[in-house]
Structure 1
């Protein structure tokens, strides 16, 4: 495996200058010293950098990530016409180390789901996102190399979350009895139903949602994890990112019925319990606030789970 070097501001600046010059997309001559660059997130060996005010440079850390990023460049072009929100556009790409891809993208203006709450109109934006993903031709996505993934077993996830919930209860982080709401029969009822798989973003985190100060969802980032599979996974991602009520309302607006909405809700809740337990087990190597926030959001109560009889025939579209 190629060992990625540690990027520095100087190497990133030189790389960005070269890509901007080759693409002609710099919007004017760059300063002799190169454009202003800074890491998007702090940490050793940052892989994503702001380049001036208009671009983002991403450095793939290994060959597997490089392959996903190359696929992402083509996938975004396929998806873009179907969505009401912005996706980054590629300005240039190349290699920043032997075999390792770098991509220079346009910056989608706005904050993140961590900085701004999604408004009611923003929920309509999310509904448009879910609707658009369902409209993307699956065969074309698979031709680009997007993998098809089988639905997860909610019952197996429930069992793992039950063990993790006991650990969280011992650390006074979570009331493990809350997980008893998802009984084994209910988990079976919420198994993914046979049907046509759809394109799934599969990484709808708060950091991948571009949200404006007025709560509109202006863009969606992070398409390299996309798969063809269970749409409930994106409902689950939204539940952890923006809260269970907003996620379920958006999915309902997108035409999803009670069963996929509740499946997404419980995928989110079980995942959130497992992720926080993992963070606690690993100690200070994992920041605890994000998993705690996602747990709180996923466990926000919704009216749907109180009034729905899963014995009915309410299925996904």
Structure 2
């Protein structure tokens, strides 16, 4: 797998200088454009001035996803009620390694701002729009299919992880007993349920304004045609389970995918916090605890036990 050296400020500055004309907001006078990495652990994503963000693919596989994302954005714009990043320039920053220079989308993130009731409607529009994208069109531009995860296998792993967290006084392992093996089997995906999914709806990818509206969704490189519960799970971790389930319900999803998404999120957050104990994640413990708390917020839908006939027609 081809991989270039980690980009430096000089590497980024030379690339951006060749892309941006003077006066676009990305230059810094005779000293060249002002650039800085977006944060620790994000050495391939850089702020460029006050108006742009540069994303560099670290290897060829990431380059394929980066180029596909440009085509996917164009396909999505007519379907989604929220904004998508707009590319100012794109190409290769090293032989075979892609980059995109995007206009910065204003606003904070779901990690910084709570989503309002109107923002939940925005998220419902996002989920509705993704279901409306013809699967054949997504496949035609290279979006792959993703197999649904086994909730029972995930449950078993999460039970062991929860015991580790309980020993560290981080979590009450008994809470996972709510999801039984029969319950996990009942929440398996249904035939014909696959839709286009973002598949990476972390809080940092959900742009939220100060008034709680969802203004944009970032980073579509992990998009797949697959289980819609994965996006519901992502929203549960990003904005809390009640808001995620309300948005999914507004989008027409019935109890089964909502509860499946809820339990995917809960198992995932338990396991990721355990990964922190083992030193296998770069996320801060504060962020992992926040995500755990959001995913485990109670919802009334958990009392639903009958699923027959609850799904809308695709």
Relative to the length of structure 1, the TM-score reads: 0.94
Secondary structure (helix, strand or coil) at the match of 2:100 reads: strand
Q: Quote the Cα distance in structure 1 between the aligned partners of 2:58 and 2:104.
A: 21
Q: Are 1:2 and 2:2 an aligned pair?
A: yes
Secondary structure (helix, strand or coil) at the match of 1:179 reads: helix
Report if aligned partners of 1:260, 1:316 keep a CA contact under 8 Å in 2: no
Report the counterpart of residue 16 of structure 1 in structure 2.
16
Report the counterpart of residue 160 of structure 1 in structure 2.
157
Structure 1 unaligned segments of length 5 or more: list them: none
Q: Quote the Cα distance in structure 2 between the aligned partners of 1:27 and 1:58.
A: 17
Go from structure 1 to structure 2 and tell me whether the alpha carbon gap of 1:65 and 1:218 turns closer, same or farther (over 3 Å shift): same
Q: Are 1:88 and 2:81 an aligned pair?
A: no
Report if aligned partners of 2:63, 2:98 keep a CA contact under 8 Å in 1: yes
Relative to the length of structure 2, the TM-score reads: 0.95
Q: Quote the Cα distance in structure 1 between the aligned partners of 2:136 and 2:308.
A: 32
Q: Quote the Cα distance in structure 1 between the aligned partners of 2:155 and 2:225.
A: 23
1:175 Cα offset (Å): 0.5
Report if aligned partners of 1:19, 1:93 keep a CA contact under 8 Å in 2: no
Go from structure 1 to structure 2 and tell me whether the alpha carbon gap of 1:19 and 1:293 turns closer, same or farther (over 3 Å shift): same
Deviations 1:254-273 (A, max 9, x none): 11111110111011101111
Secondary structure (helix, strand or coil) at the match of 1:96 reads: strand
Q: Quote the Cα distance in structure 2 between the aligned partners of 1:41 and 1:285.
A: 12
Q: Are 1:314 and 2:310 an aligned pair?
A: yes
RMSD: 1.8
Go from structure 1 to structure 2 and tell me whether the alpha carbon gap of 1:14 and 1:247 turns closer, same or farther (over 3 Å shift): same
1:187 Cα offset (Å): 0.6
Secondary structure (helix, strand or coil) at the match of 1:81 reads: coil
107, 113, 116: which one aligns with 1:116: 113
Report the counterpart of residue 190 of structure 1 in structure 2.
187
Report the counterpart of residue 202 of structure 1 in structure 2.
199
Report if aligned partners of 1:239, 1:248 keep a CA contact under 8 Å in 2: yes
Q: Are 1:263 and 2:260 an aligned pair?
A: yes
Report the counterpart of residue 279 of structure 1 in structure 2.
276
Report if aligned partners of 2:20, 2:26 keep a CA contact under 8 Å in 1: no
Report if aligned partners of 1:47, 1:58 keep a CA contact under 8 Å in 2: yes
Q: Quote the Cα distance in structure 2 between the aligned partners of 1:3 and 1:195.
A: 38
How many positions carry a matched residue from both structures?
313
1:116 Cα offset (Å): 0.6
Secondary structure (helix, strand or coil) at the match of 1:82 reads: coil
